[in-house]
Amino acid sequence: MTHDSAGENAGARPFMVRRKGWAMLRREHGHTPQHFPARRSLECGVIEFRHVSLEYPVTRTLALDDLNLHIGKGEFTYLVGHSGAGKSSFMNLVLKRALPSKGEVRVAGESLNRYRGRRTALLRRRMGTVFQENLLLAHLNAFDNVAFALRVTGVPQREWAQRVTLALRTVGLEHKKYALPLQLSQGEQQRVAIARAIVSNPPLLLADEPTGNLDPDNSREVLKVLQNVNLRGTTVVVATHAKDLVETYRHRTLTLRKGRLVRDDPYGGYAL
């Protein structure tokens, strides 16, 4: 569940709305499970850290220190903390780009220790990711940038146009589908990157500093888009330094300090 007890989004997400959102998405996307082998297991969208520590081997930096937390299906969660607190390390563990030195990371109820090779690749494909640098392909327009992400997911080509259009509509950029990245503002580019991340309907979206390069107006737009994605049923985790956003659009907020979880505030708030 989400925790919108304050701020602009207060009380805006009753359970039925989210249920309806999923049903609607399934209909519109014509989802068939065989295209997404890892979907069923990820659908509960849960992240669980059990006594997780991460020490980077060469420098012996303890980036995360005995982290215990649980993020439930459909939650919108911020991860905040000073530079070097461990936010990106957290994301890397969930994506299995790094391995814990101690403890266990579980996604959708299953330990990532059990994921190997192809399964790990499938798991990553089922997670949408958005980073500060959106890395759109400069020679492709917005539509093709989003469609490009479908190539690796096994979605039949005949479904691409419908899915891409829906993803661009979700981020409010259907009318800019023929624009090249350079013809879009930074904020619009980031929204295309979000469309790319959600086009295959991920149950879980990880956003690491998604507003890091954006001015306040564009940052708010991007945050609203992420909230809309969450409304449609996707579990969203946003690592951010954007104090004003965290305080305006309130959601559960996890605060890291030197790799330790020092606050877990269900009603949000930015207090480092």
In angstroms, the CA 184 to CA 64 distance is 37
The interface with ligand ATP within residues 68-127 (CB under 6 A) comprises 81, 83-89
Work out which of 8, 19, 30, 61 binds ligand ATP, going by CB under 6 A.
61
**Under the phi-then-psi rule, with left for phi > 0, alpha for psi from -120 to 50, and beta for the rest, what region is 72?**
beta
Minimum CB separation of residue 219 from ligand ATP in Å reads 16
Residues linked to residue 104 through DSSP beta bridges, in sequence order: 50
Name the residue nearer to ligand ATP (CB basis): 89 or 201: 89
Minimum CB separation of residue 59 from ligand ATP in Å reads 4
Minimum CB separation of residue 29 from ligand ATP in Å reads 32
Residue 191 structure tokens = 């929204």
Number of residues that bind ligand ATP (CB under 6 A): 12
Q: Are strands 110-111 and 102-107 parallel, antiparallel or unpaired?
A: antiparallel
Q: Assess 29 for contact with ligand ATP (CB under 6 A).
A: no
In angstroms, the CA 263 to CA 272 distance is 9
Minimum CB separation of residue 107 from ligand ATP in Å reads 18
Q: Assess 56 for contact with ligand ATP (CB under 6 A).
A: yes
Three state DSSP letters for 46-92: CEEEEEEEEEECCCCEEEEEEEEEEECCCCEEEEECCCCCCHHHHHH
Name the residue nearer to ligand ATP (CB basis): 2 or 88: 88
Q: Assess 60 for contact with ligand ATP (CB under 6 A).
A: no
CB atoms within 10 A of CB 180: 16
Q: Assess 59 for contact with ligand ATP (CB under 6 A).
A: yes
Name the residue nearer to ligand ATP (CB basis): 84 or 269: 84
Minimum CB separation of residue 253 from ligand ATP in Å reads 14
Cβ atoms of 54 and 88 within 8 Å: the answer is no
Q: Assess 34 for contact with ligand ATP (CB under 6 A).
A: no
Of residues 1, 8, 2, 84, the one with CA closest to residue 247: 8
Name the residue nearer to ligand ATP (CB basis): 59 or 157: 59
Residues 6+ apart with CB under 8 A from 134: 189, 190, 192, 193
Point out which residues bind ligand ATP (CB under 6 A). Answer: 56, 59, 61, 63, 81, 83-89
